[in-house]
Structure 1
Amino acid sequence: MAAENETDVIDLLLAQHGQIKNALESVRTSTGADKQRGFEDLVRLLAVHEAAEEEVVHPAARRHAVADEIVDARLREEDQAKHVLVQLAELGVDHAEFDTTFRAFAEKVVDHAELEEKEEFGQLLTHASAEERVRLASVVRFAEALAPTRPHPGVGESAAANLMVGPPLAVFDRIRDALREWRRQSGEA
């Protein structure tokens, strides 16, 4: 296995897509507090992953022969997903409509990931050098470290929007995450 600093961006993203699919299944099959924790983990995972894709991967795909309409379609899907995640969070995992809405959402997320893999990742693999793909993986990790941990649909889905408001939102999100975890561990949640 390659060292982390030698990981190809495609391998990194495919691994993350696998984590997302596992998290979706975990939420779908869990109940009670486990379902809530799983949903919170999924929200964090998706928010960070999508922000990095919007900032790094989609612009790189455009530079490497992926048609604008393909990238634009993926960006629209990501924006729609942010809105549904907010709706699901507002409903709460115990709401009668949560499971039905979540199932439809999960199907769209999996379809979205498969389209990225087919339409964008293949072009990156063909047109970007191995060295560039390793550099892109490093940039994706860095973007994820600064990304918000919950969706902010009003921000938009452009790289510029994410770079402008993402880091301040990330600080607030990560403080909120830490407080929620502290409350959970101290029995206040």
Structure 2
Amino acid sequence: MTKTAPERMQETDVIELLIAQHGVIRNMFDDVEQAAPDKRKEAFTRLVRMLAVHETAEEEILHPFARTAMDGGSAVVDDRLQEENEAKQLLQQMDQAGVDAPDFMENLQVLRAAVEAHARAEERYEFSKIIQHTSEAQRRALGAGVKAAEAMAPTHPHPGVESATKNVLMGTPMAMMDRVKDVIRKAMKKD
């Protein structure tokens, strides 16, 4: 099973880091799909966390940069934010309903298709242009920013908080609440 803390990944170039995370996310979907029923919740919890921190970091660091660094950046970012919001809404519903919900596996396939299409669109329309408009040093600086944002990001989806401003204003309190809830859930599971 895939286990990782995205903020501890070795890649330093922001594009290499985010593309590597897209690969990890695909593997995590496989883990959830292939998990035995008694292990599915654990695998899904890891996927939820990865998606939440990954998207938050993109929203706080990469998208604001892309808006100003590339021609037509605002339109490209707006399209990605719309995709992210739709995926977050489904992910939040699934997270609240749990892995035992009768439509879980069906929703997982819908979520996977949406997340993979979103990742392809980012790589094609956003990442490729960022590479053209940045130096290696800039991409390393953005990579450090993404890792820092991931370390402080909420661990569950929060639809409607897709802008850098909303993430900065609301992200830290939500992250703190998410992380406290995660600790409580983990402690209750051990009893």
TM-score normalised by structure 2 residue count: 0.90
4+ residue runs of structure 1 moved beyond 2 angstroms? none
The alignment status of 1:55 with 2:60, answered yes or no, reads yes
CA-to-partner distance for each residue in 1:86-127, whole Å, 9 max, x for gaps? Answer: 111232212221111110110110110011011111111110
Identity over aligned pairs, percent: 43
Unaligned runs of 5+ in 1: none
Moved more, 53-62 or 175-184: 175-184
CA separation in 1, counterparts of 2:25 and 2:149?
A: 18
Mapped contact 2:52–2:153 kept (Cα < 8 A): yes
Residue correspondence of structure 1 range 122-161 to structure 2 within 5 A: 122-154=128-160, 156-161=161-166
Deviation at 1:85, TM superposition (A): 0.7
Compared CA separation, residues 72 and 37, structure 1 to 2 (3 A):
same
1:142-164 CA distances to partner (integer Å, 9 max, x unpaired)? 1111111001124x211100000
Given the superposition, is the C-alpha separation of residues 179 and 66 from structure 1 closer, same or farther in structure 2, using an over 3 Å criterion?
farther
Aligned-partner Cα distance in 2 for 1:79–1:46: 12
Which of 66, 80, 83 in structure 2 is aligned with 1:77? 83
- In structure 2, the gaps of 5 or more residues are 1-8
SS at match of 1:180: helix
TM-superposition CA deviations, 1:50-78 (whole Å, max 9, x none): 00000111111112215222110100111
- Preserved contact between residue 66 and residue 119 of structure 1 (Cα < 8 Å): no
Shift of 1:5: 8.2
Cα distance in 2 for partners of 1:85, 1:101 equals: 9
Output the CA distance in 2 between the equivalents of 1:50 and 1:65. 20
The 1:66–1:121 alpha-carbon spacing in structure 2 relative to 1, beyond 3 Å, is farther
Residue 186 of structure 2 is matched in structure 1 by 181
What CA RMSD, in Å, does the superposition of the two structures yield over aligned residues? Answer: 1.5
Q: How many residues align?
A: 182
| Alignment CA distance shift 1:66-1:157 (3 Å) | farther
Which one of the candidate residues 17, 38, 43 is aligned to 1:33? Answer: 38
